């Protein structure tokens, strides 16, 4: 019996084009800090709710995602600030925070992790993955400078199951299932 190749997936929401343009402006500001990083490609900019990794049963994940989506309404969110993950002392990823006024997005993310699983971090938009930081103070100043900047808002009207295919030129994301929010 041959080994079955399992798709590598996460649950999130792909950013609309108008917001991608605003996020790219912030990516350029970060790149000017002269850090060794890999920017997330424009086509791959998204809000992440839960990283699943290799998925054995896509149909089961789709079914559960539909169930979770029926528990939540569409939500208007703001993309704000700049944050370091895991923290400002050990910077591996730079992200934009995603917030809504009623904390519904946070509840939805927790429900996704509870019902489906995965590695759930607070909802965010990844700008870049950091390989090396030569001058941490430059990054910390930029985080402070942008901590209250509003990069834009959007309506999240669905939860998407997104496959990530890795290649030498970087990952390619493909929406394999979309569950509409009520």
Our count of domains for the chain comes to: 1
In this prediction the pTM is 0.90
Domain interval for residue 29: 8-180
Give 17's contacts (C-beta < 8 A, 6+ positions apart): none
Q: What is the Cα Rg of the chain in Å?
A: 17
Is-contact 92 86, C-beta < 8 A? yes
pLDDT at 1: 46
Task: Judge whether 1 lies within some domain.
Answer: no
User: What are 78-137's pLDDT values in tens digits?
Assistant: 999 999 998 899 899 999 999 998 889 999 999 999 999 998 888 999 999 999 888 889
Task: Judge whether 3 lies within some domain.
Answer: no
Report the C-alpha gap between 33 and 18 in whole angstroms: 25
Task: Judge whether 2 lies within some domain.
Answer: no
Report the C-alpha gap between 18 and 72 in whole angstroms: 25
Report the C-alpha gap between 178 and 41 in whole angstroms: 21
Residue 57's domain is classified under what CATH number? 3.90.1140.10
Task: Judge whether 87 lies within some domain.
Answer: yes
Helices marked H in 97-135: 104-115
Question: What is the pLDDT of the chain when averaged over all its residues?
Answer: 92
Q: Whose CA is closest to 128, among 98, 96, 97, 94?
A: 94
């Amino acid at each position: 019996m041959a080994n079955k190749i399992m798709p590598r997936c996460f649950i999130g929401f792909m950013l609309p084009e108008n917001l991608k343009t605003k996020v790219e402006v912030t990516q350029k500001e970060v790149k000017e800090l002269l850090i060794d990083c890999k920017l997330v490609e424009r086509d791959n900019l998204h809000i992440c709710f839960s990283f699943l990794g290799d998925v054995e049963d896509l149909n089961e994940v789709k079914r559960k995602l539909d169930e979770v989506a029926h528990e939540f309404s569409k939500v208007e969110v703001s993309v704000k600030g700049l944050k370091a993950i895991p923290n400002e002392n050990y910077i591996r990823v730079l992200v934009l925070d995603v917030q809504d006024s009623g904390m519904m997005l946070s509840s939805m993310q927790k429900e996704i992790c509870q019902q489906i699983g995965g590695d759930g971090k607070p909802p965010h938009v990844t700008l870049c993955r950091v390989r090396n930081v030569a001058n941490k103070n430059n990054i910390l100043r930029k985080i402070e400078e942008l901590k209250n900047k509003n990069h834009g808002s959007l309506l999240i009207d669905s939860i998407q199951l997104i496959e990530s295919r890795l290649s030498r030129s970087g990952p390619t994301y493909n929406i394999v299932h979309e569950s509409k929010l009520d």
